[in-house]
Structure 1
Amino acid sequence: MSKVVLITGASRGIGRETALAFARAGFDVAVSARTLEDGQQHDHSLTGADGQPLPGSLASVATEIRALGRQAWCIPMDLLDTGSVLAAAEQLLREAGRIDVLVNNAVYQGNDLNSTFLQLTPDTLERVYRGYILAPVLLTQRLLPALLEQGAGVVINITSGAGESNPPVSADRGGWGYAYGAGKAAVSRLSGVLKAELGRQGLRAYTVNPGVVTTEALKATIGEDGVRALGAGSAPPPVPAAVICWLAVNDLQGLHQKRTVHAQPFALEHDIVADWSTVE
């Protein structure tokens, strides 16, 4: 029976590329996000310069996965809705029948996420709590029994430098705000707890920092000029995706669980992706 991976936030960007990387590695893939079909609009979503929803959907990613010869499941999930999160877990277990790898990649990305401290509202903090703490915890808790049943389950949590360091400048000058930093700081603590409590039962748990990645969301936030200005300081989404898949497939002894894996230097050090210019 083929192994199964669930990737949240998989309609575009890092999540989409991670889904395709696992499919190429022989996994059947469940993809989860709010956008089932292209063009759907949601509250608190980023939009392009034209005001339209960003491209990408679960349906389109599933088509790509199936073209690689693997089975795909589309699982709609809204991080801000507890019922939706639990229903997504149940749908996965019902339709796929097992899970071997969980990638907690989805995040809340509303335009209030990087409000300055004095502009920060309780509503924003509530959404950050639901999207960055409650949703991944509930999803992981519900899927852990099935993961542990395989005897070698893997959980990979996607963090950010914002959760592990202070902003270089204020949020209104291009840095990050408290809400985003606090949310990602919570994500950064999850894997260590899982490893300490469940590692003896065969669970491996990783924290991965993709670095600056030129996703559709980043382009919508800083524009094409901003992306060009990043130059060598950024990588395309297939780079962190390759690292995420490599950890699940190759690090069977769990050697890289103890600290955050910084995807871009890690890709170079382990010859996972040697040259960004060769990655589309």
Structure 2
Amino acid sequence: MTQVAFITGASRGIGRETALAFARAGFDVAISARTVAEGAQAEHRLLDARGVPLPGSLDSTASAIRALGRQALIVPMDLLDSDSVLAASQAVLAAYGRIDVLVNNAIYQGNDLNAAYMSLQPQTLERVFKGYVLAPLLLTQAVLAAMLAQGVGVVINVTSGAGESDPPVAAAQGGWGYAYGAGKAAVSRASGVIATELGGQGIRAYTVNPGVVTTDALKATLGESGLLALRVGTAPPHVPAQVMVWLATCEQAARFQRRTIAAQPFALEHGIVDDWR
């Protein structure tokens, strides 16, 4: 029986690479995001320094998955629209009949996400709540119901150092703002609760911090000066992607629950990625 992975935020960056990594591991893959076709317009879409929407789409990710010989299901989903979140879970289950791995990678990434504390608007925090707390909860509850019925399943929540530590510099100088940090802090707490409550029923849940990953989205949100200010190593997106596949498929991975896994040192320690460093 072919296993199924459902990867959110898979139009570009870490999500795209994670979808491809699961396909290479033999999974059929469902992918979600707002951008189905290249160049599609959407409200609150992240722009680069020139004001141009970032490249990437579900269509291009799906084509790459199919080129690897696996099935790909495109599921449009907007984290700010609860109905679309619930519809996405229903669509994947209707198509495949099961979900073995859920990777909650998608986040709200508007250009207001790293606003300075004194200029942060209530509307931004409302969007952060929907995108980082409510939508992942609704989606994960729906998927977990199916996983519990089948007796096994893995949930991976992708967090960030912003949810676990203070910024190195102020938001105006390229650090992260309160909204993003608060959103990721909420993400960091989910897996431990899931593992504690449902671990005895075949469910495993992990929190993964990719570290500084050189994606277009990171450059757009923090800027080049922000990346320099972090003063830590960086990795390409396939590194955390392969760590997530390892966590989902290796028997010894169960002991790494109830903690935040720093993907880059973890990959080195366990020899997960062959072509890096």
Give the TM-score band, short-chain normalised: over 0.9
Equivalent in the alignment of 1:241: 241
Aligned mates of 1:14, 1:188 — CA distance in 2: 17
Q: Does 1:63 align with 2:85?
A: no
8 Å contact kept, 2:4–2:96:
yes
Question: More deviation in 39-48 or 178-187?
Answer: 39-48
Q: Which amino acid aligns with 2:40?
A: Q
For the structure 1 residues 116 and 85, does the alpha-carbon distance in structure 2 shift closer, same or farther, using more than 3 Å as the test?
same
Question: Which position in structure 1 is the counterpart of 2:33?
Answer: 33
TM-score by length of 1: 0.94
Aligned partner of 2:201: which letter?
Q
1:89-104 to 2 correspondence within 5 Å? 89-104=89-104
Q: Deviations over 1:28-65 (max 9, x none)?
A: 00000000000112111112344332111111111110
Whole-Å separation in 1 of the counterparts to 2:140 and 2:190: 10
Pairs within 5 Å for 1:123-134: 123-134=123-134
Task: Tell me how far 1:230 sits from its aligned partner.
Answer: 7.2
* Separation in 1, partners of 2:45, 2:59: 18
Give the residue type in structure 2 aligned to 1:5: A
| Residues 169, 229 of structure 2: 8 Å contact kept | no
Residue 119 of structure 2: aligned partner: 119
Question: CA 1:253–1:226 in structure 2 vs 1: closer, same or farther (change >3 Å)?
Answer: closer
Asked whether the 8 Å contact 2:174–2:222 carries over to 1, the reply is no
Question: Do 2:47 and 2:53's aligned partners in 1 also have CA atoms closer than 8 Å?
Answer: yes
Do the aligned residues in 1 keep the contact of 2:159 with 2:210 (CA within 8 Å)?
yes
Counterpart position of 2:195: 195
Contact 1:268–1:274, Cα closer than 8 Å, also in 2: no
Residue segments in structure 2 that go unaligned for 5+ positions in a row? none
Indicate how the Cα distance of structure 1 residues 49 and 253 shifts in structure 2: closer, same or farther if over 3 A, else same.
Answer: closer
Alignment coverage as a number of residue pairs: 277
Match of 2:215 in 1: 215
**1:177-204 CA deviation, whole Å, 9 max, x = no partner?**
1111110000000000000100000100
Q: Structure 1 residues 6-15 or 114-123, which shifts more?
A: 114-123
Shift of 1:148: 1.8
TM-superposed CA distance for 1:224, in Å, is 6.2
Check conservation: 2:29, 2:71, Cα contact below 8 A.
yes
Unaligned 5+ segments in structure 1 are none
- 8 A Cα contact 2:174 2:226, kept in partner: no
1:152 maps to a residue whose letter is: V
Structure 1 residues 248 and 174: alpha-carbon distance in aligned structure 2, compared to 1, 3 A threshold: same
> Per the alignment, do residues 238 and 147 of structure 1 end up closer, same or farther by CA in structure 2, a change over 3 Å counting?
same
Output the CA distance in 2 between the equivalents of 1:232 and 1:186.
24
CA shift at 1:221, angstroms? 3.7
Alignment check: 8 A CA contact 1:101 1:248 kept = yes
- Secondary structure of the structure 1 residue equivalent to 2:26: coil
Q: Distance in 1 between matches of 2:137 and 2:118?
A: 29
Secondary structure, counterpart of 2:207 in structure 1: strand
CA distance in 2, matches of 1:184, 1:108: 11
User: RMSD of the alignment, in Å?
Assistant: 1.8
Q: Deviations over 1:98-132 (max 9, x none)?
A: 10000000000111111111111110000000000
**Aligned equivalents of 1:38 and 1:215: distance in 2?**
17
Q: How far 1:231 moved relative to its partner? A: 8.4
Residues 1:7 and 1:222: Cα distance change in structure 2 (over 3 Å):
same
Identity within the alignment, %: 69
